[in-house]
């Protein structure tokens, strides 16, 4: 009888340990409102008080309204050195729970676009965005980013993004992305498009999307 109890006691102990470990892991996956506010406030020191971006010598992208899936993928790309940017020093400090919480929080924000783009290029940019450039085999931006440029899953929201930032990203795509060809990030599909767009076309598209809300 006593011998039969030993396996049962051992099994019960193992179950108790597993339950305790799972509970501890669940606690580690939680982010308090205070922790989340501290982290988003820190992000806003560069990206604007409403996540609207910052227009300066080094433009900081708009985070407000961005799709969490896209933001998470990009932050992971910084962490894994698949994207080259100063954001690495901040991204690698985020726990998986905080990463999800921060990107979800910024999606809720919807400030007005900062503006500042040359207005005479907006119409040409809209045409490229909606129709692409067939002669250059460039598909419409709307086919991935949506008709209102609000993004879809891993396709970034472009609506309201800073003119300066979009221009810089498309112009220097290979310098900041594609750092790990064996493990490319989700936006690698944009590489050939960015390379095929002329500087004038890049400026036009950037001007158009920067005006969208």
Interatomic CA distance for residues 48 and 60, integer angstroms:
8
Q: What is the 3-state secondary structure (H, E, C) of 123-148?
A: HHHHHHHHHCEHHHCECCCHHHHCCC
CATH number at residue 108: 1.10.760.10
Residue 204 has pLDDT above 70, yes or no: yes
Give the pLDDT confidence score for residue 78 in this predicted structure.
83
Lowest-pLDDT range, 6-15, 69-78, 141-150, 180-189? Answer: 6-15
For residue range 47-79, list pLDDT tens digits in order.
Answer: 999 999 999 888 999 999 999 999 998 888 888
Q: What is the mean pLDDT of residues 131-147?
A: 96
DSSP 60: B
Residue 110 has pLDDT above 60, yes or no: yes
- In-domain check, residue 170: yes
Q: Measured over all CA atoms, what is the biggest interatomic distance in the chain, rounded to whole angstroms?
A: 90
- In-domain check, residue 16: no
Contact 90, 79 (CB under 8 A): no
Tally the domains of the chain: 1
- In-domain check, residue 26: no
The angle that helices 163-171 and 199-210 make with each other, rounded to 10 degrees, is 150
- In-domain check, residue 7: no
Interatomic CA distance for residues 132 and 139, integer angstroms:
5
Range of the domain at 181: 33-210
- In-domain check, residue 9: no
- In-domain check, residue 2: no
Lowest-pLDDT range, 36-40, 41-45, 124-128, 186-190? Answer: 186-190
- In-domain check, residue 13: no
Residue whose tokens read 């039969």: 4
- In-domain check, residue 28: no
Residue 1 has pLDDT above 70, yes or no: no
> To the nearest whole number, what is the mean pLDDT of the chain?
84
């Amino acid at each position: 009888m006593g011998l039969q109890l030993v396996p049962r006691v051992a099994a019960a102990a193992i179950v108790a340990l597993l339950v305790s470990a799972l509970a501890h892991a669940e606690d580690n996956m939680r982010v308090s409102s205070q922790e989340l506010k501290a982290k988003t406030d820190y992000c806003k020191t560069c990206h604007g008080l409403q996540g609207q971006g910052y227009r300066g010598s080094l433009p900081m992208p708009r985070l407000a309204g961005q799709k969490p899936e896209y933001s998470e993928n990009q932050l992971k790309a910084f962490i894994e050195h698949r994207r080259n940017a100063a954001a690495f020093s901040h991204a690698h400090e985020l726990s998986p729970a905080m990463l999800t919480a921060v990107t979800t929080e910024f999606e809720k924000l919807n400030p007005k676009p900062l503006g500042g783009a040359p207005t005479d290029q907006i119409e040409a940019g809209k045409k490229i965005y909606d129709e692409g450039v067939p002669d250059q085999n460039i598909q419409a931006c709307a086919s991935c980013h949506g008709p209102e440029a609000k993004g879809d899953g891993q396709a970034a929201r472009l609506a309201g993004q800073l003119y300066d930032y979009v221009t810089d990203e498309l112009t220097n795509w290979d310098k900041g992305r594609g750092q790990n060809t064996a493990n490319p990030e989700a936006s690698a599909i944009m590489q050939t498009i960015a390379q095929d767009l002329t500087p004038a076309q890049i400026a036009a598209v950037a001007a158009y999307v920067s005006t969208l809300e």
